[in-house]
C-alpha cells in the first residue's frame, strides 16, 4: 500500500479526504464504551462539542461518524492532521498505528485528484486594456448582462425535483408579494449547456447572499442537494453568517440530516406556527449580509 508523500502537510488536508471505509473503521474503535480507553465522547470533547451535543449523538447509528461529519462541516481546522493530533491527545495511539496506512492512502488519492482537477494557468496571446472577465461568470442565468455584469440573488434554493411544488409556493410567497425577494431557482433561472457543478458553485459562492435548503425524504437521496449543502457549509463552517437556512415543509420518515442539526430550522409542518412561516423566512433572507469574501468571521 502506497504511503502519502512525506512533503504533504496533513494539517492542511481537509477531513473530507478520508473515505467512508476509514470512518467506519474509526467507529469500530471508538463507538464502544470503554472503561480503560478513550472513546468517541473524549474525541468529540477535544473537537469542541459541548455536553448536550455529545448526548444527542448517543442515539445515532454511529456516533463517531456523525461527530466527524459535523466537525467537518462546522470547523475550519477539521483536517487529517488535527484528527491524528486529537487521537494522540486522548491516548489512542493504537488507532493511529493501525489506521495511519489507510489514512495515508486516502490522503494520497485525494492529493492526486486535486492535482488532476487543478486548472492549468491561463495562456493568453496578448494583453489589452480591458478588465478581464472570467468566462464562467458570463451567461449563466437568464438576466445576466451581455457586458458581463452577473445577476445577483437574495437566496439560492436547494431542492430536489419531487419538492418543486413547494418551491413554486415559495416563489409566490417571497417574490410575488411585498417582500419582493429574488430567488435563484435552478430549473427556472439557469441557462443550459454548462457544467452543473461549476455553475452551482459559482451561484452559491458569489451570486447568492444565502441558501434555502428544502429538506425532505427525497432530499436525502439527491446527490445534487448533498453537494450543494456541503459546498455552502464549507464556505462558512459553523454557519456563523447565517448563510444556510433549512426549511422542512412536510413530515419526514427518515432521520433529519445530521450535517444540519446545529442550524435553526424553519418548520412548515407545525400548524400552530404556519401563519408566521413566510414572515420569518422572508425576514431571515432580507437581513443585511456582508461581502461574500468576508462573511465568515
pLDDT confidence of residue 207: 92
User: Between 75 and 190, whose confidence is greater?
Assistant: 190
Q: Which residues pair with 147 in a beta bridge?
A: none
pLDDT confidence of residue 56: 84
Inter-residue contact 11 to 81 (CB < 8 Å): yes
DSSP characters over 162-177: GGHHHHHHHHHHHTSS
How far from 137 is each of 120, 131, 144, 148, 149, CA to CA, in Å?
Answer: 18, 14, 9, 7, 8
* 124: region left, alpha or beta (phi > 0 left; psi from -120 to 50 alpha): beta
Residue 237 has pLDDT above 70, yes or no: no
d(CA 123, CA 120): 9
- Chain segment 136-180, per-residue pLDDT in tens: 556 788 888 767 678 999 999 999 999 999 999 999 999 999 999
Residue 120 has pLDDT above 70, yes or no: no
pLDDT confidence of residue 5: 54
Cβ contacts of 101 within 8 Å, gap of 6 or more: 1, 3
Residue 226 C-alpha cell reads as 448533498
pLDDT confidence of residue 127: 43
Q: How confident is the model at residue 239 (pLDDT cuts 50, 70, 90)?
A: very low
**Which of 28, 26, 18, 20 is closest to 87 using CA atoms?**
26
| Mean pLDDT confidence for 173-192 | 93
Amino acid at each position: 500500500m502506497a504511503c502519502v508523500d512525506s512533503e504533504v502537510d496533513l494539517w492542511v488536508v481537509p477531513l473530507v479526504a478520508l473515505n467512508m471505509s476509514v470512518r467506519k473503521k474509526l467507529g469500530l474503535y471508538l463507538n464502544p464504551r470503554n472503561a480503560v480507553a478513550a472513546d468517541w465522547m473524549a474525541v468529540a470533547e477535544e473537537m469542541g462539542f459541548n455536553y448536550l451535543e455529545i448526548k444527542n449523538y448517543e442515539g445515532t447509528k454511529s456516533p463517531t461518524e456523525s461527530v466527524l461529519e459535523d466537525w467537518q462541516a462546522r470547523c475550519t481546522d477539521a483536517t487529517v492532521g488535527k484528527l491524528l493530533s486529537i487521537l494522540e491527545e486522548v491516548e489512542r495511539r493504537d488507532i493511529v498505528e493501525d489506521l495511519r496506512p489507510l489514512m495515508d492512502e486516502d490522503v494520497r488519492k485525494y492529493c492526486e485528484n486535486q492535482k488532476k482537477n487543478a486548472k492549468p494557468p491561463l495562456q493568453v496571446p496578448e494583453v489589452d486594456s480591458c478588465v478581464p472577465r472570467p468566462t464562467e461568470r458570463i451567461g449563466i442565468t437568464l438576466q445576466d448582462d451581455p457586458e458581463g455584469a452577473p445577476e445577483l440573488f437574495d437566496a439560492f434554493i436547494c431542492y430536489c425535483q419531487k419538492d418543486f411544488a413547494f418551491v413554486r409556493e415559495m416563489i409566490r410567497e417571497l417574490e410575488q408579494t411585498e417582500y419582493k425577494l429574488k430567488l435563484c431557482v435552478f430549473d427556472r433561472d439557469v441557462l443550459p449547456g454548462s457544467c452543473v457543478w461549476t455553475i452551482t458553485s459559482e451561484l452559491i459562492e458569489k451570486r447568492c447572499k444565502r441558501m434555502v435548503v428544502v429538506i425532505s425524504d427525497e432530499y436525502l437521496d439527491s446527490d445534487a442537494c448533498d453537494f450543494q449543502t456541503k459546498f455552502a457549509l464549507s464556505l462558512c463552517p459553523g454557519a456563523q453568517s447565517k448563510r444556510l437556512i433549512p426549511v422542512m415543509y412536510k413530515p419526514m420518515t427518515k432521520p433529519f440530516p445530521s450535517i444540519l442539526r446545529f442550524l435553526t430550522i424553519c418548520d412548515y409542518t407545525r400548524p400552530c406556527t404556519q401563519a408566521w412561516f413566510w414572515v420569518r423566512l422572508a425576514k431571515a433572507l432580507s437581513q443585511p449580509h456582508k461581502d461574500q469574501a468576508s462573511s465568515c468571521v
